[in-house]
Amino acid sequence: MGTPTRFTSGVGTATKTSNTGYYGMPDPTKWITYFNDFTEYVSGDWTITTTEAGSGAATEALASTSAGGLLLVTNDDADNDADFFNLKTEAFKFVAGKKTFFKARFAVSDATQSDFVMGLQITDTTPLAVSDGVYFMKDDGDASLDFHVEKDGSDTTASAIATVSDATMLVAGFYYDGKSAIEYYVDDVKLGTSVTTNLPDDEELAVSFGIQNGAAAAKTMTVDYIFVSQER
């Protein structure tokens, strides 16, 4: 089976096949697909884990002035206050022979004094210390984006693959070839390939994202879209 077209000159290699066509017009019965452009937000779709120790409360709302849809997540204003999201449906599982695509566009207000995560994980109240998933993460105190492939707490990490900037949208994506490699991309540029030694192939996974403060000030995460597609 051929691989669907790249995401905007990004993930994967373009090949036409009988069951996918060119990507963008796939046979929907051959793929499990989730796409959220955040033209609407329903809190009940998510398991939300919130930490609030500051003077106010975290909020999650659509950015009202944005065409195309944006979700704005704003933390309370104490250090380590956080707002994390797991989609309630764990709809994805890595299986040999089945390709998987992930792509998200998002920004954080403070690229250094914050932690964030974006990707596929098991449902967990501590996504910064999760045991299973394939995801992008940034640690507090630096602006370096890392890529993780983790199973049962054993983690293959590609460190500092890109630099995050304050209040600047970035596009993070990965592509699992269904065999032995996971390519990772930032802003539609392939930056490397991870082995699948720690691929979490024994767990169903959910879309997972969120942000934690790295200092005693409110931090925000703005999500433009999240896309996942996996062969059945």
Q: Which CATH number belongs to the domain containing residue 38 in this structure?
A: 2.60.120.200
| The total number of structural domains that make up the chain | 1
Q: List Cβ neighbours of 32 (8 Å cut-off, separation of 6 or more).
A: 91, 92, 228, 229, 230, 231, 232
Looking at residue 3, what is its pLDDT? 37
User: Radius of gyration over alpha carbons of the chain, in Å?
Assistant: 17
Tell me, yes or no, whether 2 lies in a domain: no
| β-pairing verdict for 170-176 and 206-213 | unpaired
Q: Is residue 3 part of a domain?
A: no
**With a cut of 70, which residues of the chain have pLDDT below it?**
1-26
Cβ atoms of residues 52 and 59 within 8 Å: no
* 23: in domain: no
Q: Considering the domain boundaries, does residue 43 fall inside one?
A: yes
pLDDT of residue 68: 85
Determine contact, residues 115/214, Cβ cutoff 8 Å: yes
Distance CA 118, CA 127 (A): 9
Structural domain includes residue 4: no
pLDDT given for residue 26 in this prediction: 61
Q: Residue 195: how many CB atoms within 10 A of its CB?
A: 11
* pTM, entire model: 0.89
Q: Residue 1: inside a domain, yes or no?
A: no
Residue 95 domain-assigned (yes or no): yes
- Please give the C-alpha separations between residue 55 and each of 9, 59, 72, 108, 217, in angstroms, as whole numbers: 44, 13, 19, 21, 10
Residues 147-179: tens digit of each pLDDT: 999 999 999 999 999 999 999 999 999 999 999
Report pLDDT for 29: 83
Q: Which two tokens stand for residue 214?
A: 């790295």
Domain interval for residue 36: 28-231
User: Measuring CA to CA, how many Å separate 80 from each of 83, 114, 206?
Assistant: 10, 8, 23
Closest CA to 230 of 90, 106, 132: 90
On whether residue 176 sits in a domain, the answer given is yes
